[in-house]
């Protein structure tokens, strides 16, 4: 049986956690392949609500093995507190596997993230302040600390020294901050070694063997396509590859093993942090989407910027990820609008443009071209099949599908596990 990728098609917070959890009961492994605790994935099971940051959403399915792949950046203190929080609520987390090659977010990465944002001033990215960018920067600069380094004190000390050499110069001389003590960092990191030891594994081998044995592996992306470091709205992006290719590099599973790529797509658009957003609303409709959709960040508690659905973005997500399916979420939030505008193209400097422009300047100038689709007022949260939806809701879904370039195989009509309409099976 094959591997599936499930990822965000917009700017994150599309409902990936709910979608992963839904499939978690039928798959053998759920793998996070990039990002870190900048993610905030909400899963609602019955009357219980879980907010996951670093752990794959499959952790809530008892039969599923959750895996943190090599492409993830791990803050050990966050991981341990997330694990104990779940244990206190009766969730068994003993099956978790963590790649020894995953990089570690240390307190100095968090400090550098916050200090650099402050110094960027007006030009800041609006990061989550979790140390994500600086940790990936160290990985690429070859001065990162990996999970496996926790098990060799001498190597760990040398690596922390190498990493702090330049950073301490920068902190003291440029940012007017105190230097970070090497011994203190080493001691803190060594303190995590024993607690993490039961989970550390050769996850590349485990996952490839599982696929050989016909097990089902689901890759859960953090963030979303337009936050991708290569394919997103750079520089207003995160520092990893949430797009489909990231699932391979971030896990050590080859692309030939992946048979399905599912894009999670919100029925409207949201974004957290700075950067261009053509369909952003600054009026009452934007406030209503935020209120009805509960659009407040799970990680930082920031209000999410809200706007209408953007089909140009959906088409782009189909292209750069090779999407085979969409999972359309939060359709219920749109109930009650008489007309629902959908962005079908952009106008850039007086010209109509159908596809996402590669030029940052053009994207900043893009004005949405809207088509109004008729809305519905009936409650759709109890709908179990496509036929249960009011005609106008059906037509909204069909129109989005036609514009977006891949079939919509499931529809979310509420936050709960069972508030989903399945059209085509994912497995
Ligand atoms: P993620 O980061 O992609 O996992 O998404 P978040 O958890 O940050 O944000 C999605 C929010 O929408 C969460 O509060 C979910 O519980 C909620 N949600 C997911 N699917 C649906 C849906 O179909 N309808 C409604 N009303 N809420 C949903
Ligand atoms: P999930 O997985 C929405 C945004 C931040 C900021 C930019 C860079 O819940 O969809 P970073 O801390 O990653 O360096 O910040 O990326 N961002 C997210 N926005 N959902 C997320 O995750 C995000 N993770 C990062 O707001 O604009
Ligand atoms: Mg989120």
CB 268 within 8 A of CB 89: no
C-alpha torsion 106→111→112→114, nearest 10: 130
Which tokens sit at 330? 């939060």
Give the nearest ligand 2 atom to 35 CA: 13
17 lines ligand 1 (CB under 6 A): yes
Compute the distance from residue 426 Cα to the ligand 3 centre, in Å: 22
pLDDT tens readout for residues 192-232: 999 999 999 999 999 999 999 999 999 999 999 999 999 99
- Residue with CA closest to ligand 2 atom 13: 238
Tell me what the mean pLDDT of segment 374-400 comes to: 98
pLDDT of 381 strictly over 70: yes
pLDDT tens readout for residues 63-107: 999 999 999 999 999 999 999 999 999 999 999 999 999 999 999
pLDDT tens readout for residues 305-329: 999 999 999 999 999 999 999 999 9
CB 257 within 8 A of CB 244: no
Domains defined for the chain, CATH in brackets: 3-91+203-422 (3.90.170.10), 103-198 (1.10.300.10)
Give the nearest ligand 2 atom to 275 CA: 27
CB neighbourhood size of 179 (10 A)? 14
7 lines ligand 1 (CB under 6 A): no
CA distances from 371 to 65, 67, 309, 396 (A): 44, 42, 11, 11
How much is the pTM? 0.97
**Which residue, among 211, 293, 204, has the nearest Cα to 252 in the 3D structure?**
204
Tell me what the mean pLDDT of segment 403-427 comes to: 96
How many CA atoms are closer than 13 Å to the CA of 2, on its beta-carbon side? Answer: 11
Site to substitute for ligand 1 among 332, 380, 415, most atoms within 8 A of C-beta: 415
- Residue with CA closest to ligand 1 atom 2: 13
CB 11 within 8 A of CB 264: no
220 lines ligand 1 (CB under 6 A): no
Query: To which residue do tokens 């030009």 refer?
Result: 123
The residues annotated with a catalytic role in the active site are 13, 41, 139
Site to substitute for ligand 2 among 38, 57, 129, most atoms within 8 A of C-beta: 38
pLDDT at 220: 98
N- to C-terminal Cα separation, the chain: 9
115 lines ligand 1 (CB under 6 A): no
Give the nearest ligand 2 atom to 242 CA: 2
Q: Please check if 17 is assigned to a binding site.
A: yes
Q: Please check if 298 is assigned to a binding site.
A: yes
pLDDT band at 1 (very low <50, low <70, confident <90, very high): low
13 lines ligand 1 (CB under 6 A): yes
Compute the distance from residue 38 Cα to the ligand 1 centre, in Å: 16
Q: Which H or E run contains 80?
A: helix 76-88
74 lines ligand 2 (CB under 6 A): no
Query: To which residue do tokens 């990985």 refer?
Result: 139
Collapsing DSSP to helix, strand or coil, 266 comes out as strand
């Amino acid at each position: 049986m094959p591997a599936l990728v499930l990822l965000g098609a917009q700017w994150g917070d599309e409902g990936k956690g709910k979608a992963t959890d839904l499939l978690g009961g039928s798959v053998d492994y759920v793998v996070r392949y990039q990002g870190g605790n900048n993610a905030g994935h909400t899963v609602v099971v019955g009357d219980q609500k879980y907010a996951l940051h670093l752990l794959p959403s499959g952790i809530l399915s008892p039969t599923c093995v959750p895996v943190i792949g090599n492409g993830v950046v791990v803050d050990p203190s966050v991981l341990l507190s997330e694990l104990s929080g779940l244990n206190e609520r009766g969730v068994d987390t003993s099956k978790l596997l963590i790649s020894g090659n995953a990089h570690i977010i240390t307190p100095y990465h968090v400090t550098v993230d916050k200090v650099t944002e402050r110094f960027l001033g007006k030009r800041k990215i609006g990061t989550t302040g979790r140390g994500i960018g600086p940790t990936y920067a160290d990985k690429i600069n070859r001065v990162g600390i990996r999970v496996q380094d926790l098990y060799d004190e001498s190597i760990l000390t040398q690596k922390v020294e190498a990493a702090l050499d330049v950073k301490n110069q920068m902190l003291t001389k440029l940012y007017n901050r105190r230097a970070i003590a090497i011994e203190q960092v080493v001691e803190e990191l060594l303190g995590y070694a024993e607690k993490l030891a039961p989970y550390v594994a050769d996850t590349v081998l485990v996952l490839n063997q599982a696929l050989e044995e016909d097990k089902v592996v689901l890759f859960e992306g953090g963030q979303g396509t337009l936050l991708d470091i290569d394919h997103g709205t750079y520089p207003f992006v995160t520092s990893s590859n949430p797009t489909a290719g990231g699932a391979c590099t971030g896990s050590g599973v080859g692309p030939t093993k992946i048979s399905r790529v599912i894009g999670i797509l919100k029925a409207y658009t949201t974004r957290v942090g700075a950067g261009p957003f053509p369909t952003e609303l600054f009026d009452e409709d934007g406030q209503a989407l935020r209120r009805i959709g509960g659009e407040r960040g799970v990680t930082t508690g920031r209000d999410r910027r809200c706007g209408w659905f953007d089909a140009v973005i959906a088409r782009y997500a189909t292209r750069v990820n090779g999407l085979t399916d969409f999972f359309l979420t939060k359709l219920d939030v749109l109930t009650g609008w008489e007309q629902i505008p959908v962005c079908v193209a952009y106008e850039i400097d007086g010209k109509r443009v159908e596809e996402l422009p590669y030029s940052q300047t053009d994207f900043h100038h893009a004005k949405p071209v809207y088509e109004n689709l008729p809305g519905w007022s009936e409650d759709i949260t109890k709908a179990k099949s496509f036929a249960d939806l009011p005609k106008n809701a059906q037509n909204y879904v069909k129109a989005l599908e036609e514009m977006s370039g891949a079939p919509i195989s499931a529809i979310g009509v509420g936050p709960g596990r069972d508030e989903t309409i399945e059209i085509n099976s994912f497995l």
